[in-house]
Structure 1
Amino acid sequence: MPSTILVPDRDKALHINAQSLFSIFRNSIMSRHDTHAPETPATRFLRQHGMAYSSHLYDYEDHGGTAVSARELNVNEHAVIKTLIMEDENAQPLIVLMHGDRKVSTKELARQIGCKRIETCKPETANRHTGYLVGGTSPFGTRKPMPVYIERTVLDLALVYINGGRRGYLVGIHPHDLLRVLQAKLVDVAN
């Protein structure tokens, strides 16, 4: 006979089959995503570099951006960091890490890093440079090494959430660790 749990319901007691209760609980969690963090080139990179991080799965929505991930994780969108793949006038790729609720001034970025022009890559070009699908782009474990630029104000946060190499998967990390492990340069380019 299955065990039961006694759950008080105002004046009367209600017996619930413990196995059914666990099944309901498990299914509600599993319906969001597999509860195990995925293995990606980004997570391998983080482990290889001895980086402490937390895993956060959420229901990915096409074109939802950082607003959706912030809402799903119940965090401020300012702490969700976008990984943007851009190119200079010579089609050389670079990565910009920016607050989810801000945009990059490409004109100011070009001026600060000594380029004539900076443009956001087309999705297929970004995929080719990084090895990640757009919406799942991480600055960690990219296909080819690229210079990384971080918006200076990202370092003011205690914890940031950044893509872990798959759509619907962010990792929580200390922003100073981003700077160190990615050998990134600081810029002031937020709009």
Structure 2
Amino acid sequence: LGEDIQFASPDFVREETGFAIGGVSPYGLIKEIPIYIDRDLLDHSLIWAAAGSHHTIFSIQPQTLVSTTGCQVISVH
């Protein structure tokens, strides 16, 4: 994306997403924020994502994640 990145503070993550660090789900966000998925994940039949806490995850087909969240497919290298 051409921008430098840095880790977000726990308070910032909670304020922007409604979730604690380690539990940020691509669903149920409290604000409309961009969601990205690495292009390489599309090669898998199933991936795992956080489900609202650092103790919970869910499986999903990557194409379903893309179609239901509108996330942007990018190359992360």
Q: Same fold (TM over 0.5)?
A: yes
Residue 138 (structure 1) aligns with? 25
SS of 1:140's partner is coil
Q: Structure 1 stretches of 5 or more lacking a match? A: 1-109
Aligned alpha-carbon RMSD (Å): 1.3
Q: Which has the higher helix share?
A: 1
1:160 is aligned with what amino acid?
I
Q: Which has the higher strand share?
A: 1
The alignment's TM-score, normalised by the length of structure 2, stands at 0.88
Report the Cα distance in structure 1 between the residues aligned to 2:44 and 2:21, rounded to whole angstroms: 25
Report the Cα distance in structure 1 between the residues aligned to 2:23 and 2:62, rounded to whole angstroms: 19
Q: 1:165 aligns with which of 37, 48, 52?
A: 52
Q: How many residues align?
A: 77
SS of 1:186's partner is strand
The alignment's TM-score, normalised by the length of structure 1, stands at 0.38
Q: Structure 2 stretches of 5 or more lacking a match? A: none
Dislocated runs of 4+, deviation >2 Å = 116-120
Q: 1:182 aligns with which of 45, 69, 77?
A: 69
Residue 29 (structure 1) aligns with? none
Bigger relative contact order (CA 8 A; separation at least 6)? 2
CA radius of gyration, larger in: 1
Residue 153 (structure 1) aligns with? 40
Q: Using the aligned pairs only, state the percent identity.
A: 29
Report the Cα distance in structure 2 between the residues aligned to 1:182 and 1:175, rounded to whole angstroms: 11
